[in-house]
Amino acid sequence: MFRKINNWCIGALAVMLMTGTFEAQAQPDGATLFKQCATCHSPFKDGTGPKLQGVREKWNSGGAKDGSIYHWVKDWEAAAAADPYAANETKVKPGSMMKFPTLSNEEIDAIFDYVDAQVENKPAAPVAGGDGNVEVVEQELPMGWIWLAFAIVLTVVVVSLGNVKNRLVLISKAKGGEDVEDVPSFIDDIKSWAWRNRKLTAFLILCVVIGVFVALFLGLYTIDVKEGYHPSQPIEFPHSVHAGINGIDCRYCHNVVTESKSASLPTVNVCMNCHKQVTGTTPEQQEKIKKIYEAAGWDGNQFTGKTKEIVWNKVHVLPDHVYFSHEQHVTAGNVDCMQCHGDMKKRTETAQVMPVSELNKIEGNIQLTKPTLTMGWCIECHDQKGISDGPLDTKKDGYYAEIHKRLLENDPKLYEQYMKDGKVSVKELGGWECIKCHY
Ligand code: HEC
Ligand code: HEC
Ligand code: HEC
Ligand code: HEC
Ligand code: HEC
Ligand code: HEC
């Protein structure tokens, strides 16, 4: 009995996995896709971006060109150049909409369909890292699960019908006075077929397993691409003037970056260390620096006590289930800030998630291909980057030398294999293990 249950469980699982993966490709999932918009947009409320419910209708009836709204989502700048209606939309918060060049029209429609289907007044939780007033809409049961449930039910029905048929044969034989041996059940039929064609069966199972893995990984590589993300900030803080021209060390403002998980952002007191005196040369600068004074409650001579926090919008955001530590990369791994954030000394605008194509232009950076901040990006670097350039590097505290020494003592053969390419990569030390990055 249990063997049977076991068997059809496996069958059902295979069907589930297959339909699951096909489903994921066939139909774009508006709820998931909308997550990348939800940091700025809510269906019903204006936040960083305007509310999105009914926006397609608004554009169509407002006189936008055909297909202009898709163009907008893919590249608002190009859309604004091509369509006066779109150009008008850029006036809400100029330059703050993100570009999504990889979304297809179907996917964009799926997002709008999802948004239009939302009903207001549902209790909603705020999004971490986004605007305080942005809402996450409650997740609907995704279509994928409905298909899965359907696949399970179907499998159960097929198997039961097969068994019923065999039972009927058995009964009719018994009635006819025939000698009744145990007629093979439907599952037994399948099993014996599989046994007779075991090579084919093995091949089919292998195909399914490989297919599932490939689909899974291709999916993981590109989930939730944040490249180019450039939120607006309360003060137009230029890194170029500070870290560049004035040569201020990154750690002056991001003061825990070498010793903790987070890099931290400076408080207004840090700004005031200099800006009590530095009031700006041009009127433009003075205007910007005035905002620091408002936040610090500084009237030019003394602190009034009327402070107002500067709320910087977070630029680099990883999902909650990912663990990333600056100390591990900057101090232990000796990776330069530029590798992941670009050359901030030259950055005249506020910070942005630099596209990998830009990062690759910086001399000395490891060349990567996957979009910045995706899992593929992390993993690709862990494969390429050695924990040191040679077997006995001269890093002062002997950190790497110690690792190499231990590896050599524990398993000289394995060590030799690692060192074939001249390095022990982060991956070879476990940097591809799910648990290292996922809680
Ligand atoms: C970084 C913040 C941000 C993200 C992320 C973002 N948007 Fe926007 N969006 C804006 C802003 C700001 C505007 C207002 C446009 C302007 O002033 O330039 C806007 C405008 C729009 C408009 C026009 C709204 C109207 O009322 O006409 C649409 C449509 C839109 N966004 C769709 C999307 C979609 C779809 C996504 C996700 C795939 C998305 N946006 C992601 C910030 C964002
Ligand atoms: C004078 C203070 C100061 C110095 C020096 C400084 N930063 Fe910043 N940094 C800031 C402020 C303020 C922000 C928030 C505004 C923004 O996002 O541009 C910021 C933001 C950032 C961000 C984006 C943070 C996020 O939300 O994801 C990165 C990355 C960054 N800085 C890297 C650097 C690097 C690398 C250096 C050294 C080359 C450096 N910073 C030097 C003040 C400073
Ligand atoms: C290996 C890539 C990598 C390197 C090297 C790196 N960062 Fe980051 N940085 C990240 C990632 C990823 C995040 C987002 C972290 C998160 O959301 O948990 C981030 C976030 C930040 C932030 C936003 C605040 C925070 O802690 O979330 C600042 C500021 C920052 N980095 C500054 C720096 C500075 C300064 C250096 C060099 C001393 C540096 N980073 C080196 C990948 C890197
Ligand atoms: C170590 C000293 C120092 C610190 C700390 C500092 N600044 Fe500055 N900042 C300067 C100098 C110097 C200038 C250039 C002023 C000039 O050219 O007259 C400047 C210029 C600026 C400007 C005008 C830039 C422009 O050209 O448009 C802004 C805005 C600004 N700072 C914001 C900040 C903020 C926000 C902080 C805190 C996060 C901060 N600064 C911290 C030294 C500092
Ligand atoms: C530019 C290369 C680079 C990128 C990009 C990068 N890492 Fe790393 N990572 C390293 C290096 C080098 C080390 C080894 C540090 C050491 O020697 O302990 C490391 C180590 C780690 C470790 C510790 C591994 C262990 O074996 O203990 C974790 C966890 C980690 N990285 C997470 C991430 C995450 C998450 C991302 C993406 C958001 C990321 N890394 C992106 C280079 C990178
Ligand atoms: C080097 C760090 C690293 C390792 C190792 C790693 N991941 Fe990830 N993973 C990430 C990052 C970063 C993200 C978030 C990517 C994004 O937001 O685009 C992620 C996202 C995911 C997601 C998508 C969740 C979502 O946001 O919807 C899944 C599932 C996942 N990882 C599973 C795994 C599995 C299984 C393994 C082991 C085979 C693994 N990861 C190993 C860094 C890592």
Rounded Cα distance between 153 and 209, Å, is 22
Ligand 2 atom 6: residue of nearest CA? 250
Q: What is the Å distance from ligand 4's center to 231 Cα?
A: 20
pLDDT at 17: 42
Average pLDDT for runs of 10 along the chain of length 439: 44 43 59 76 80 91 90 90 89 70 89 88 43 34 56 74 73 68 75 89 91 75 72 93 87 87 90 88 92 92 89 92 91 89 94 94 92 93 76 55 81 86 84 90
Ligand 5 atom 12: residue of nearest CA? 333
Q: What is the Å distance from ligand 2's center to 254 Cα?
A: 7
Q: 378: Cβ below 6 Å to ligand 6?
A: yes
Neighbouring C-beta atoms of residue 164, cutoff 10 Å = 11
Q: 245: Cβ below 6 Å to ligand 4?
A: no
Ligand 3 pocket check: which of 313, 315, 341 to mutate, most ligand atoms within 8 Å of Cβ? 341
| CA separation, residue 72 to residues 28, 69, 87, 105, 397 (Å) | 19, 5, 10, 11, 53
pLDDT at 219: 63
Q: 312: Cβ below 6 Å to ligand 3?
A: no
Encoded tokens for 169: 């044969």
pLDDT at 340: 96
**Which CATH fold would you assign to the domain 30-117?**
Cytochrome Bc1 Complex; Chain D, domain 2 (1.10.760)
Model confidence pLDDT, tens digit, residues 132-166: 333 333 333 444 555 666 677 777 777 777 777 77
Model confidence pLDDT, tens digit, residues 156-212: 777 777 777 777 777 777 776 666 566 667 788 888 888 898 899 999 999 999 888
Q: 318: Cβ below 6 Å to ligand 2?
A: no
Delimiting residues of CATH 1.10.760 domain(s) in the chain: 30-117
Q: 273: Cβ below 6 Å to ligand 4?
A: yes
Q: Minimum-distance ligand to the CA of 433?
A: 6
Ligand 4 atom with the smallest distance to the CA of 284 is 27
Say if residues 344 and 351 touch (Cβ distance below 8 Å).
yes
pLDDT at 183: 63
Say if residues 65 and 89 touch (Cβ distance below 8 Å).
no
Q: What is the Å distance from ligand 5's center to 326 Cα?
A: 9
Q: What is the Å distance from ligand 5's center to 324 Cα?
A: 8
pLDDT at 179: 63
Question: What 3-state DSSP class applies to 322?
Answer: strand
Looking at the DSSP assignment, which residues form a beta bridge with residue 293? none
DSSP 58-80: HHHHHTPPTTHHHHHHH-HHHHH
Say if residues 335 and 359 touch (Cβ distance below 8 Å).
no
pLDDT at 126: 38
Ligand 3 pocket check: which of 264, 265, 326, 382 to mutate, most ligand atoms within 8 Å of Cβ? 326
Encoded tokens for 416: 């030799």
Ligand 2 atom 37: residue of nearest CA? 250
Q: Minimum-distance ligand to the CA of 246?
A: 4
Pocket of ligand 5 (CB under 6 A): 318, 322-324, 328-329, 332-333, 335, 339-340, 366, 373, 377-378, 381-382, 385, 387, 426, 429-431, 436-437
pLDDT at 185: 74
Say if residues 125 and 136 touch (Cβ distance below 8 Å).
yes
pTM above 0.75, yes or no: no
